[in-house]
Structure 1
Amino acid sequence: MRARILAVLLSLLAGPALADSLATLERFYTNTRTLAGRFTQTVSDANGTVTETSSGQFAIQRPGRFRWDYQAPYEQTIVADGRELWVYEPDLDQVTVRPIDADSADAPGLLLSGAAFPSKLFDIASEKDGWLRLTPKQRDSGLGAVRLKLAGDSVQALQLDDGLGQTTRIELLDQQRNGALPAARFSFKPPPGVDVIRALPQPPTGGKP
């Protein structure tokens, strides 16, 4: 999700709690050039039952580049190089690549890398315990609410609702901010013999974004 959102958001404050949360978010976007660490991810169904857990390493370079390496229980690599999004699944010997949609907010890496955070897409509200709720203005976007857990000057966790009752929560751990990250980490070259599937850009879902 871009730093340009903040100038707009700060003019739409709904109260002190929201102001504090947005100030924290502003510091994160202003002061973070790179971010790396590890993550844990849980997926829950509509009843709150955990149906999937995974973990791995992440790296982010603003604007618009990130790498998400799932290591357990199975391997998967997701890389955004600033232009395209690559999803590599070793067990299937395939990689899917598609253009990055600047208005897309359905990927945690895009949110954090500053590649897709246009204020026109979200209504913003403050919740308890440092959570910030972002609700898509475009109701048929296929995405439910996005929540960010803020602490200090950083984003500690993300929670994404798919609009159908499934919730994905990602905890960002052992964060290292503004360290040097090699450019090669944010590029992807398919291994020999891997099927490359090029997906078409997603069509508009209606309404003005």
Structure 2
Amino acid sequence: MQKRYQELTSFSFTFGQQTSGQLSGRPKTGNGSGILYHHDSQTLMRWNYERPERQVIISNGEEVSMYFENLQQMIIAPGDAGQSDVLASFFSGDKALDESFLMVDPDPEIAAAAEELSPSLHGAQLLPRQPHAQLRSVHLFIDDESLIRRIDLMDHFDTRTVIDIDSLIINPLDDMDNTAILEIFSFVPPPGTEIIRQ
């Protein structure tokens, strides 16, 4: 999987997401699109949530900006502070996963749920080698082309987030110049947005 993503300069996708757990109340669903660009050891990633409310999350490896339309807020945090950085590391192929995670067989129930999505998916459970502020475990499921199709995350409060990846396009930015690419990974919030730096 890592070798496959190291070969890519960019890819785009759509996604569906479901979050469930005692602290999250009844299950919440969302969807949107994402795009990643990998060049000269830098990985840029953008997630556009369309539902349940608009959010824009951009990671450049050094910081993550998270815009929440319904709150009229944009939070800017260090790049290693949250889930977005972990997701970017899966897609970038920069760092060997077994340096940060112990890789074991997937949980049978979680594997069975992924098999309902597609019988051809291959999965593994990743356990952080060092305590992580947000994640207790991650399940990754890849297809026969070694591309991630499902990410199943569990936090320390037993809140589970499942992200299904679809409509993958490989290297969509190959014919674009650098200025146009950087515009994709920039976001200026509307006037009146509260900016919070962490």
Same fold (TM over 0.5): yes
Q: C-alpha offsets along residues 25-59 of structure 1, whole Å, 9 cap, x if unaligned?
A: 1332222221101100001226xx96100000111
2:195 counterpart letter in structure 1 = V
Could you tell me whether the CA contact under 8 Å between 1:58 and 1:67 is conserved in 2? yes
Which of 1, 6, 10 lines up with 1:34 in the alignment?
A: 10
1:124 counterpart letter in structure 2 = M
Unaligned 5+ segments in structure 1 are: 1-24, 200-209
Between 189-198 and 113-122, report the one with greater CA deviation.
Answer: 113-122
Superposition RMSD in Å: 2.5
Q: How does 1:46-195 map to 2 (within 5 A)?
A: 51-62=27-38, 63-101=42-80, 106-107=83-84, 108-114=87-93, 119-127=98-106, 129-139=121-131, 141-151=133-143, 152-180=145-173, 182-195=181-194
Could you tell me whether the CA contact under 8 Å between 1:81 and 1:187 is conserved in 2? no
Q: Which has the higher strand share?
A: 2
Unaligned 5+ segments in structure 2 are: 112-120
Following the alignment from structure 2 to structure 1, what is the Cα–Cα distance between the partners of residues 186 and 93? 17
1:68 counterpart letter in structure 2 = W
Could you tell me whether the CA contact under 8 Å between 2:4 and 2:146 is conserved in 1? yes
Structure 2 CA distance for partners of 1:105 and 1:122, relative to 1, 3 Å: farther
Q: Which secondary structure does the structure 1 equivalent of 2:5 belong to?
A: helix
2:138 counterpart letter in structure 1 = V
Could you tell me whether the CA contact under 8 Å between 1:66 and 1:113 is conserved in 2? no
Following the alignment from structure 2 to structure 1, what is the Cα–Cα distance between the partners of residues 187 and 62? 12
Following the alignment from structure 1 to structure 2, what is the Cα–Cα distance between the partners of residues 167 and 77? 21
1:89 counterpart letter in structure 2 = F
Structure 2 CA distance for partners of 1:43 and 1:114, relative to 1, 3 Å: same
Structure 2 CA distance for partners of 1:39 and 1:50, relative to 1, 3 Å: farther
% same residue:
25
1:29 counterpart letter in structure 2 = Y
Q: Which secondary structure does the structure 2 equivalent of 1:64 belong to?
A: strand
Q: C-alpha offsets along residues 172-191 of structure 1, whole Å, 9 cap, x if unaligned?
A: 11000111162211122233
1:81 to partner: Cα distance: 2.7
2:156 counterpart letter in structure 1 = G
Following the alignment from structure 1 to structure 2, what is the Cα–Cα distance between the partners of residues 40 and 140? 24
Following the alignment from structure 1 to structure 2, what is the Cα–Cα distance between the partners of residues 118 and 87? 25
1:138 counterpart letter in structure 2 = Q
Q: When the two structures are superposed, what TM-score results if normalisation uses the length of structure 1?
A: 0.73
Q: C-alpha offsets along residues 55-102 of structure 1, whole Å, 9 cap, x if unaligned?
A: 00111112421110110121111011332200001111110001212x
